[in-house]
Structure 1
Amino acid sequence: MIEALSHVNWLAVGVASVAHFILGAACFVGLVGKHYPVVLGIADRPQEKPGLLSFAGPFACTAVTVATSAILLRALGITTYGDAFVLGALVGFGYLVPMTLNIAINPLFPRPFAYTALNAPFFVVGSLMSCTILEALS
């Protein structure tokens, strides 16, 4: 597994991370932005202006996820778009969506299933897209 690190195309990781971040901006600002406060139970509060952490945090987390997918692609010897797509689906549906629900199942999230349903498409599409980009540029 450690040897896979030396076979990762880090430029591809950067490109996929930026693409994933742009997808997130389009999704959460353009598509679901109005629904987000509702599922969080804060629709009645005034909107706060996002700070640096609101941008840097998601980008850093995305970059770690994309880098992990790149390492898995190399460690598993994946060299086709089909297999990269399957890995993207596995990571999206097998890790990211369940973790989103797991995080949301606590008293601070009044609608954990709605929150997960709102986020799941982004995580799955982002994972599929990232693995495809990683394969294309490797």
Structure 2
Amino acid sequence: MKSFRLPNHATLPLMAAGLLWNVLFIRGDAATDAIIGAAAGYLFIWSIREVYIRTRNIEAIGLGDAKFLAAAGAWLGWQTLPFILLTASVSALIIVTFQSLTNRKIDSKTAIPFGPYLCIGFWTLWSAKYVVI
């Protein structure tokens, strides 16, 4: 959260592990869903980033977020991406609202790292799929 970075040495092996898990152990449609999930996760964040850069000339979201969402898609498949993003967004809104109520100044120029909230979304859905039965 301090550096606002999701490093490649964390996101890329996570993505590779998710793809390998689904290709080697789950197989069938899960492998296809994982490949589509990785591509769709990356492209979704990348496209938001590009639109924002072109319209506001500000880099508001990094490619580490795109790689992390790609990793989440690789593990859980493309169908879970909307729920990961919803969980991440709601988590961010709750925490940022709480911070603003505790006298932290938050305005339209305040930088808020999205990666930790993507982690919450990914962990929640991963737990629902692999831990909770």
User: TM range, normalised to the smaller chain?
Assistant: 0.3 to 0.5
